[in-house]
Amino acid sequence: MTKKIRLVTALLATGLFAQAHAADKFIIVQSTTSTQNSGLFDHLLPAFKAETGIEVRVVAVGTGQALKNAQNCDGDVVLVHAKAAEEKFVADGYGVKRIDVMYNDFVVVGPGNDPAGVAGSKDVVKSFKAIADKEALFASRGDDSGTHKKEQQLWKAANVDVKAASGKWYRETGSGMGATLNTGVGMGAYVLADRASWIAFGNKGNFKIAVEGDPTLFNQYGVIAVNPAKCPNVKTDLGNTFVNWLVSPKGQATIAAYKKNGDSLFFPNAPK
Amino acid sequence: MLKMNSDLALLAPSKPFSEHLPIQFDGVHLSFGKHHIFSNLTLEIGAQGITAIMGPNGAGKSLILRLLAGLLMPEQGSVRFNTLSRVPRDQIGFVFQRPVLLRRSVQDNLLHALAIAGVERGQRPFRADALLELGGMQHLAKSPARKLSGGEQQRLTLLRALAAKPGLLILDEPSASLDPQATALIENIVLRASQCGVKVIVVTHDQGQAARLSDEVMFVHKGRVHAIQATHEFLKTPASREAKAYLAGELLI
Amino acid sequence: MQDFSLAFVQAFTLIGQADPTLIDIIALSLQVTFTAVSIACLLGFPIGAALAIGRFPGRMLLVVFLNSLMGLPPVVVGLVIYLFLSAAGPLGFLQLLYTPTAMVIAQVVLVTPIVAALARQVIEDLYGEYDEMLRAMNASRIQTICTLIVDARYSLLTSALAGLGRALAEVGAVIIVGGNIANVTRVMTTTIALETSKGELALALGLGIILIVLSILINAGLFLLKNSAQKRAYA
């Protein structure tokens, strides 16, 4: 009986080992959950593979974790949307160069009955002030992500001290976009989300977009190749192929072509 | 004659146990907590053949067996086997009062004992079969050992004890709870083992069994050896007062 | 509430369609889990047995420590193994991060204490019964351990099933060391987590139902196996 078990284990283990190392041409891209959840990769990566034969393995985590993983050399390319953090990443020598890829925007979503009376507004800072004044529930990601950093900027511009209100009307979930949206919808709280995540989100309940169109809500995505000087084992050639493809006319067109329910989620803006 | 030869092949110890005789207890102390069982216990078992140990309950008979088998160590004093200052554990087979068998088939229990004894893998099935034949249990080979009757289980533990060809066979009231038929089967095997040169020490309450099996009787009472005599002598004219009372069926308080 | 009925519909649709992605995910879940549990048993049974029969100073401390390891938080284990397997870590050269092998390692770390602690208890009980008999047979330590493991096989199977349950249901460790990469390291539990974060609650629930049914089927199968074997040998 033990012999049989040992044999089966050995077979399983070798099977697993073989499976993982089967695709020789692959790179690991550290990206964010919101980008993943929008469905962009499911649309983009097969096109890339068809053209180059390179498999892209996406590890989707929070922005902070993505950058940290890349610092640890656990990725070949980084694709996030937190410009300041990305520039620091390159400045510290972990990335080769930061290139604009695409943008979308943030929106404020809220319950159908709009307790703060901000629906339809095009001024996000004013809306935030209104939410704070009325002490309407607001669910924040609270996880130092790009979205969260943007949110912090807006509160600052509105002169609201959210730290003091934490736990009262300001709820910090400390989690990703999807989880925060779930929580927000569950408790009827406003949430600042990137448009792509919201459009792709499946649990909207009675929520609608309350505030949009404010230029301050611009959300820029950047791509960075991990620096081989700091990470000798990084797949530089394959990684650069991906980066170059993303900013190439072909890649940019593929990004633009991604729609959900007829809406575009990302707008390519790589430098020509 | 043929039977004797096959018995010898199966049961005769590789080295005669006589070279480990006499067995001597010298100044043995044993206690459990505050309870002193043995203080300065001294005894000697010198003869080949079958030695019976008799005495009232609580006298320490089972403990003597365990000291003999090396299952207990004396706190003071020594248990010597002639020139050996330690118990030759690998040459001893033990049959407990209540059978403890593995949760496997009868045959597997014997195969297990043979494996532990270091018998070569190819030899084991043959030895197991021969032992089963000795015990008249071939038809039970594949039965779960624990589903056997009390008598069959005890017989199996006796066969198991003999599997390693021990020089010394120790039995602790082996047929205490068995019917006469089962008892007879056990005694038959013990006698055959003795005839093949195995030294036997058996604790028994049954005077009849002592008479049927043993050459000498050692009478133990309250942690001391009161007498050691040839069996027929002991049963007719026991050397100690307590032994006489015991044999007469009195309770020794 | 409508999510629940929707979930059942989703579950049956997925099964009925025999969606190939789902089949791959289920296959990977089973591969990772069974491999991990098998290794955990190979390690855990002897460790539990050795601890059961051992008599040395500090033994009780070790037993308590092993029992507490049953409660290792999966996400912490995942994090620690990530740090070891990361390119920046001591074992980075093995390039095991973001592979199913890493997931197996994480689950082995989580499941072995469970199997070992339960095995220890089971074998300790049996040892009480067999101790004197084995000593009378002059069995060595290793022989004693082997005897006990074989004789306790049915109770040990239950320990293995406890480990299996833990592994099948676990998400915190495998998501960190595996990366939840599509077609590579995505298993049932990480898929459920992903779909939940996308707000696809009915789908996530549906997958959850499939996972539970899977677990029931595995347990039922092993139960029947055990019963038929038990009739033959046990008492």
In angstroms, rounded to a whole number, what is the distance separating the alpha carbons of residues A223 and A241? Answer: 12
CB contact under 8 A, B146 and C234: yes
Predicted confidence (pLDDT) at residue C192 exceeds the cutoff of 70: yes
State the first-to-last Cα distance of chain A, in angstroms, to the nearest integer: 66
- Nearest-CA distance C185 → chain A (Å): 8
Min Cα distance C176 → chain A (Å) is: 9
User: Is the per-residue pLDDT at A17 higher than 50?
Assistant: yes
What pLDDT is recorded for position C76? 96
Q: What residues have CB less than 8 Å from B85, skipping those under 6 apart?
A: B78
pLDDT at C46 over 80: yes
**CA A153 – CA A157 distance, rounded (Å):** 6
Q: What is the mean pLDDT of residues A19-27?
A: 70
Residue type, B180: P
| Residue A133, helix vs strand vs coil | helix
For residue C235, pLDDT beyond 50 = no
Q: Do A9 and C98 touch (CB under 8 A)?
A: no
Average pLDDT over residues A33-62: 93
Q: Which two tokens stand for residue C187?
A: 């298993």
SS3 labels along chain B? CHHHHHHHHHHCCCCCHHHHCCEEEEEEEEEECCEEEEEEEEEEECCCCEEEEECCCCCCHHHHHHHHHCCCCCCEEEEEECCECCCCHHHEEEECCCCCCCCCEHHHHHHHHHHHCCCCCCCHHHHHHHHHHHCCCHHHCCCEHHHCCHHHHHHHHHHHHHCCCCCEEEEECCCCCCCHHHHHHHHHHHHHHHHCCCEEEEECCCHHHHHHHCCEEEEEECCEEEEEEEHHHHHHCCCCHHHHHHHCCCCCC
User: Can you name the residues that pair with C210 across neighbouring β-strands?
Assistant: none
For residue A249, pLDDT beyond 90: yes
The strand pairing partners of A61, in sequence order, are A32
Average pLDDT over residues B161-167: 94
Question: Do the beta carbons of residue B54 and residue B205 sit within 8 Å?
Answer: yes
Predicted local distance difference test score (pLDDT) of residue C52: 95
For the four alpha carbons of A29, A31, A36 and A41, in that order, the dihedral sign comes to negative
**Which chain B residue's Cα is nearest to C129?**
B100
CA-based Rg of chain C, rounded to a whole angstrom?
Answer: 20
pLDDT given for residue B14 in this prediction: 81
| pLDDT of C225 strictly over 90 | no
The Cα of C63 is separated from the nearest Cα of chain A by a number of Å equal to 26
State the SS3 of C44-99. HHHHHHHHHHCCCCCHHHHHHHHHHHCCCCHHHHHHHHHHHHCCCCCCHHHCCCCC
Test B112 with C147 for CB contact under 8 angstroms.
Answer: yes
Of all residues in chain C, the percent with pLDDT exceeding 90 is: 74
Chain B residues touching C138 at Cβ < 8 A:
89-90, 92, 116
Closest approach of C97 to chain A, Cα-based (Å): 8
Total count of residues recorded for chain B: 253
Is the pLDDT higher at C109 or at C8? Answer: C109
Residue count (chain C): 235
- Encode pLDDT of B66-78 as tens digits: 999 999 999 999 9
Distance (Å) from the alpha carbon of C81 to chain A's nearest alpha carbon: 13
Considering only CA atoms, which of C197, C190, C186 is closest in space to residue C169?
C190
> Which pLDDT score, from 0 to 100, does residue B227 have?
83
Over residues C48-68, mean pLDDT: 94
Mean pLDDT of all residues in C48-69: 94
Q: Please, where are the H alpha helices in chain C?
A: 2-17, 20-53, 59-69, 74-85, 100-136, 141-151, 153-169, 172-178, 188-197, 201-233
Rounded-to-integer distance, Cα B103 and Cα C149, Å: 11
Q: Is C101 on the interface with A (CB under 8 A)?
A: yes
A59 and chain C in contact, CB less than 8 A? yes
On average, the pLDDT of chain A sits at 90
pLDDT band for position A7 (50/70/90)? low
Chain A touched by C7 (CB under 8 Å): no
Q: Residue B4: what pLDDT?
A: 58
Query: Which H helix or E strand runs over A200?
Result: helix A195-200
Cut 0.80: pTM above it: yes
Find chain C residues with C-beta within 8 A of A19's C-beta. 100, 184
What is the identity of the amino acid at A12? L
Q: Decide the pairing of beta strands A77-80 and A218-226.
A: antiparallel
Question: Nearest-CA residue of chain C relative to A11?
Answer: C35
Residues of C in contact with B147 (CB under 8 A): 235
Listing from the earlier edge strand, what are the strands of the sheet with B92-95?
Answer: B92-95, B168-172, B199-203, B50-54, B216-221, B224-230
Burial bucket for residue C179 (CB in 10 Å: 0-12, 13-18, 19+): buried
CA distance, residue A111 to nearest chain C CA (Å) = 16
CA angle C233, C131, B158 (to 5 degrees): 65
Query: Is the separation of the CB atoms in C78 and C176 below 8 Å?
Result: yes
Q: Quick check: A203 and C197 CB within 8 A? A: no
- Confidence (pLDDT) at C17: 86
* Six-digit token string for C222: 């092993």
Q: Is the pLDDT of residue A61 over 70?
A: yes
Q: Is the dihedral of CA C191, C193, C194, C199 positive or negative?
A: positive
| Stretch 87-146 of chain A: residues touching chain C, C-beta under 8 Å | none
Phi and psi at A47, nearest 5°, equal: -65, -45
Is the pLDDT reported for residue A9 higher than 80?
no
pLDDT of C23 above 50 = yes
Q: Which residues of C touch B104 (CB under 8 A)?
A: 150-151, 233
Find the mean pLDDT for residues A150-161. 93
Supply the pLDDT for residue B133: 94
- Say if residue C117's pLDDT is above 70: yes
Whether B contacts A, i.e. 3 or more CB pairs less than 8 A apart, is: no
The answer to whether residue A1 scores a pLDDT higher than 60 is no
Whether the pLDDT of residue C12 is over 80: the answer is: yes
Mutate which: C137, C151, C157, vs B, most B CBs within 10 A: C137
Please write the tens of the pLDDT for every residue from B125-147.
999 999 999 999 999 999 999 99
Residue B162 touches partner C, C-beta closer than 8 Å: no
| Interface contact flag, B146 C143, Cβ < 8 Å | no
What is the Cα–Cα distance from A55 to A32, expressed in whole angstroms? 18
Query: What is d(CA C55, CA C53) in angstroms, rounded to the nearest whole number?
Result: 7
Residue A15: pLDDT band with limits 50, 70, 90 = low
- Asked if A37 and C198 come within 8 Å (Cβ–Cβ), the reply is yes
**Cross-chain CB nearest to B89 (options C133, C138, C143):** C138
Among chain C residues, CA nearest to B111: C147
Task: Say how far residue A48 (Cα) sits from the centre of its chain.
Answer: 20
CB A207 within 8 A of CB A116: no
CA A191 to chain centre: 15
The residue of chain C nearest to residue B115, with distances taken between CA atoms, is: C143
Identify which of A94, A100, A96 has the alpha carbon closest to the alpha carbon of residue A72. A94
Does residue A19 carry a pLDDT above 60?
no
Q: Is the CB of residue A25 less than 8 Å from the CB of residue A55?
A: yes
Chain C CB within 8 Å of residue A176 CB: yes
| C149-172 per-position pLDDT tens digit | 999 998 999 999 999 999 999 999
Check CB contact under 8 Å for B145 and C138: no
Checking if the pLDDT of C53 tops 90, the result is yes
pLDDT of residue A11: 67
Side chain identity, residue B64: I
Residue C11 has pLDDT above 90, yes or no: no
Residues of C in contact with B146 (CB under 8 A): 234-235
From A205-209, B29-33, B232-236, C162-166, the region with the lowest mean pLDDT = B29-33
Q: Is A208 helix (H, G, I), strand (E, B) or coil?
A: strand
Domains and their CATH numbers in chain A: 2-104+219-268 (3.40.190.10), 106-217 (3.40.190.10)
Across B21-33, average pLDDT: 90
pLDDT band at B162 (very low <50, low <70, confident <90, very high): very high
Question: Which 3 state secondary structure label does DSSP give A147?
Answer: helix
pLDDT at B86 over 90: no
CA neighbor of A70 nearest in space, from A29, A41, A36, A33? A29
Sheet holding B23-32, edge to edge: B35-45, B23-32, B76-81
Is the backbone peptide bond immediately before A232 cis, with ω within 30 degrees of 0? no
Give which of A107, A129, A121 is closest to A184, Cα–Cα.
A107
DSSP 8-state symbol, A121: B
For chains C and A, having 3+ Cβ pairs within 8 Å is answered: yes
% of chain A surpassing 90 pLDDT = 70
